[in-house]
Amino acid sequence: MWLEGIGGEDKIFYTTGRLTSEMVIKVAQMQVPLLLSRSGVTEMGLSIAQQIGIGLVARAKGKHFLVFNGLECFNS
């Protein structure tokens, strides 16, 4: 994204791994507002996401998921 000059403001970052503090920081640097994972989230990852305002969705499998931060990203 950076090499092509594409912003991350309208993107969602998906990973199959845990949402660690390092992953949250990298996503914040890319200016992506929502981080989605099939796996869980670490306590430090959640803490950093809450501080900087990134939405975290974990345990996303099939039709089920857990929103840990950023519930306002979803329309009711």
Average pLDDT of the chain, as a whole number: 90
Higher pLDDT, 5 or 41: 41
- Report which of 68, 14, 66, 61 is spatially closest to residue 43, judged by C-alpha positions: 68
* pLDDT tens, position by position, 46-65: 999 999 999 999 999 999 99
Higher pLDDT, 38 or 2: 38
Rounded mean pLDDT, 25-36: 93
- Report which of 4, 51, 23, 73 is spatially closest to residue 65, judged by C-alpha positions: 73
72 located within any domain: no
4 located within any domain: no
Residue 5: per-residue pLDDT: 79
56 located within any domain: yes
Q: What is the DSSP string of 16-41?
A: SS-B-HHHHHHHHHTT-SEEEESS-B
Q: Note whether 59 and 39 are within 8 A (CB).
A: yes
Number of structural domains, the chain? 1
The CA-based dihedral angle spanning residues 33, 73, 52, 5, taken in that order and rounded to the nearest 10 degrees: 20
pTM of the model: 0.83
